[in-house]
Amino acid sequence: MAKDVSGTLESLMNVDGAMAAAVVDSKSGMALGTIGSGVNLEVAAAGNSEVLRSKEKVMQSLGLNDNIEDILISLGKQYHLIRPFSKSKNLFIYLVLNREKANLAMARHKLSEAESALEV
């Protein structure tokens, strides 16, 4: 079932350990929608846009003809997931999880489902 940005973000907050989420335009670094707390999502949107663009440049320099499925940043207390859209290269979903409460495999699965269902 297709969802809009706010519906997608609300569904992601049902993932075990979810703390915050955003849909981000990687070209501008601006969040199109945010939900949750514990992280300054405006700052995170801009910073993670740079992470995504940097990884894409490295892949291009290495001649890797592939797509980024997701990027995982593991912190001591949190997981940060970046999931680029397959339909729109300039958008990604950013999800912050409490590491003690999260099931990383399930979170990645739910993030993939959310990305597929989102209509922008």
The domain made up of 5-115 has a fold known as Beta-Lactamase (3.30.450)
CB 63 within 8 A of CB 37: no
What's the pTM? 0.93
- Each residue's pLDDT expressed in tens, for the chain with a length of 120 residues: 568 999 999 999 999 999 999 999 999 999 999 999 999 999 999 999 999 999 999 999 999 999 999 999 999 999 999 999 988 889 999 999 999 999 999 999 999 999 888 887
Spans of all domains in the chain: 5-115
| Beta pairing partners, 23 | 33, 93
Phi, psi (degrees; rounded to nearest 5) at 91: -115, 150
CA gyration radius for the chain? Answer: 13
